[in-house]
């Protein structure tokens, strides 16, 4: 018999392996996306769905998520058609992804969101995907997502803790941080901040120059 929670929840080892935020995440040729969907009708906001996805057959996991949205599988009534009571329906999606989106996924997500103003998306990422070169298109993609109203955040201890409780078959086992989790998270958050607020460093430089420092 299929138990919902055996299929919906992630195995502990899998979660740790794929979400570890080490700088050199060797061999992670998969990307996981854990999501929570909340649905708001009027003043009430309710958790509607949750689960996880993995990239498959050359398709990035973000695009799989988009496909599910387009098929009406995750946020029914998102476009207002269907039942009359779906008018004014809002959804908010929060996802936790082991990699940040590539430029193409960012572009498609931004496009999708521009057509669905009643969908809010918040993205937490464990590691930054191809973001080392300052002029990388992945960086530009993240900025585009931000302009599309997406909040992008690097996962910290509390986020991993939350994911462990929510998406992992943890069987009462408390989440145990790996070595360097906090440091890596702080470093990645700083990098993401640089990506999303370009020019700030120069502004500081200018400020120091003005102050004669």
Please give the residue ranges that form the binding site for DNA (CB under 7 A). 23-31, 55, 58, 60-62, 97, 99-102, 105, 127-130, 132
Shortest distance, CB of residue 190 to DNA, whole angstroms?
Answer: 16
Q: Helices 181-196 & 200-210, crossing angle to 10 degrees? A: 80
Is 200 one of the catalytic residues? no
Alpha-carbon distance 26 to 11, whole Å? 20
Shortest distance, CB of residue 180 to DNA, whole angstroms?
Answer: 12
Q: Nearer Cβ to DNA, position 79 or 104?
A: 104
Shortest distance, CB of residue 2 to DNA, whole angstroms?
Answer: 26
Q: Nearer Cβ to DNA, position 89 or 109?
A: 109
Q: Nearer Cβ to DNA, position 119 or 142?
A: 142
Q: Nearer Cβ to DNA, position 35 or 175?
A: 35
Residue of 30, 62, 134, 140 marked active site: 62
Shortest distance, CB of residue 22 to DNA, whole angstroms?
Answer: 9
Give the residue numbers annotated as catalytic, written as ranges: 62
């Amino acid at each position: 018999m299929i138990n919902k929670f055996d299929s919906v929840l992630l195995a502990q080892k899998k979660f740790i392996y794929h979400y570890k935020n080490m700088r050199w995440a060797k061999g992670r040729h998969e990307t996981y996306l854990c999501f929570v969907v909340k649905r708001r009708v009027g003043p009430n906001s309710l958790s509607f769905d949750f689960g996880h996805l993995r990239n498959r057959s050359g398709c990035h996991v973000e695009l799989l998520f988009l496909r599910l949205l387009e098929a009406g599988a995750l946020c029914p009534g998102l476009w207002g058609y269907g039942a009359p009571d779906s008018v004014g329906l809002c959804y908010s999606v929060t996802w936790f992804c082991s990699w940040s989106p590539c430029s193409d996924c960012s572009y498609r997500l931004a496009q999708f969101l521009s057509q669905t103003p009643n969908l809010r998306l918040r993205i937490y990422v464990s590691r930054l995907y191809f973001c080392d070169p300052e002029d990388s298109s992945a960086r530009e993609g993240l900025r585009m997502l931000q302009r599309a109203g997406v909040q992008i955040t690097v996962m910290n201890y509390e986020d991993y803790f939350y994911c462990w409780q929510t998406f992992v078959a943890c069987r009462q086992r408390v989440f145990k941080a790996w070595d360097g989790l906090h440091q890596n998270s702080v470093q990645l958050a700083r990098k993401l901040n640089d990506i999303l607020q370009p020019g700030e460093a120069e502004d500081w430089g200018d400020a120091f120059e003005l102050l004669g420092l």
